[in-house]
Amino acid sequence: MNLLLPLALYALVVHYGASSPPSLATKPSPLLSRACDATDVLAVSGFALEDINRDRKDGYVLSLNRVSDAREHRQAHLGSLYYLTLDVLETKCHVLSNRSWKDCEARVLHESVYGQCKALFYINKPRRILYTPAYNCTLHPVSRRSIHRMCPDCPSPSPTDLSDPSVLEAVAESLAKYNDESNLKQYSLVKVTRASSQWVFGPAYFVEYLIRESPCTKSQASSCTLQSPNSEPVGLCKGSLSRNNMEKHVSVTCDFFKSQVQDPETKNSAVNQGPANFPQQKSPAPQHSPSPPVLQGSVQHLPDLDDEKPTVSQEKGLADDFPVHLNLTTNPQGDSLDVSFLFMEPVKEKIVVFPFPSKEQRSAKCPGPAEKYSPFILPP
């Protein structure tokens, strides 16, 4: 009897230990933390940003300032899905120029617009597939108060309402000057894209605007009919209008877009464009599936942080200043994403997508080095 009791107790311990709830076991995350300065991470970040800029129809090209966070989910035989958080800067190039962000100049510090993008990027090297399923970006202009504290004498143009009569006058005067100096073609206004004002020797207004080509030559200007409202913009002009006493000074320069005929099958993604480490190869669209869907994404422009809250709260709640959210799923176990259209063969291929990692889960090897380091243009 004395021997039976210890045996019975041992049996009970084994039984309850073997049937312990599986929820107590912690399942490791399939998302691998990557170094933000790793060569492949920088490469896929650059490709993702090209996709983001290509997808947009309004605004200015965004350039990569640094990789803030990077995770990789290796999809067995189907490549990898990257979860990227990118710190970006607005450049002087309009997205309609179709220029690569690497060929565009970022704005000077006191005119900077900076922000953060979150993007999912799928890569399959053996199949030469690059694809951005989704992205979201949030942008802010640089803090005027911070610039003034750092450099009281630095020029700091104030944002101006695009419908302000003085802004429209600066547009009209500068465009008229360009048309007067043009030998043949004439141009008309499409849209004002940016405006600011500053006191120099008097009030000065600085404007940027899209233009379209007039159907008439300069000699026909007086009898020219109005341009069709559906015509495409052909260039971006930058003009200024300033006054000094009774004198008026007008300046203007225009940058014309290169016409590029894009393949509609690859217009909204970098599918099959190929990384630099293997030859580019364009594959025909598979016959069994539709063309790649339009990217899921948006770019949100927010006002100057100084305009949103008083000085006393500038250091409080910085994480909320860039509310960039990107979740194709909220299922912690992940959901499948159909990528069959990316493959030539008539097969069904799916990858697994998890909720986007939160800021608190940032990789220990991130953020990476910045191209332009300044606390005024780097999100927290």
Q: If DSSP states are collapsed to H, E and C, what string results for 17-77?
A: HHCCCHHHCCCCCCCEECCCCCHHHHHHHHHHHHHHHHHCCCCEEEEEEEEEEEEEEECHH
Which residue ranges form the domains of the chain, and what is each CATH number? 31-143+320-353 (3.10.450.10), 153-217+232-255 (3.10.450.10)
What pLDDT, in 10s, does the model give residues 46-56? 999 999 999 99
pLDDT at res. 229: 58
Other residues' Cβ atoms within 10 Å of the Cβ of residue 284: 8
* pLDDT, tens digit (0-9, with 9 covering 90-100), for 122-141: 999 999 999 999 999 999 99
Distances from the Cα of 307 to the Cα of 142, 163, 310, 314, angstroms = 11, 19, 8, 11
CA-based angle 350:353:357, to the nearest 5? 165
Give the CA distances from residue 370 to residues 67, 205, 342, in Å, rounded to whole numbers and listed in that order: 8, 32, 33
Give the Cα separation of 120 and 327 in Å (integer): 10
Q: Is the pLDDT of residue 8 over 60?
A: no
Inform me whether the pLDDT recorded for 77 exceeds 80: yes
**Cα torsion 139, 325, 34, 42: sign:** negative
Q: Averaged over 255-264, what is the pLDDT?
A: 64
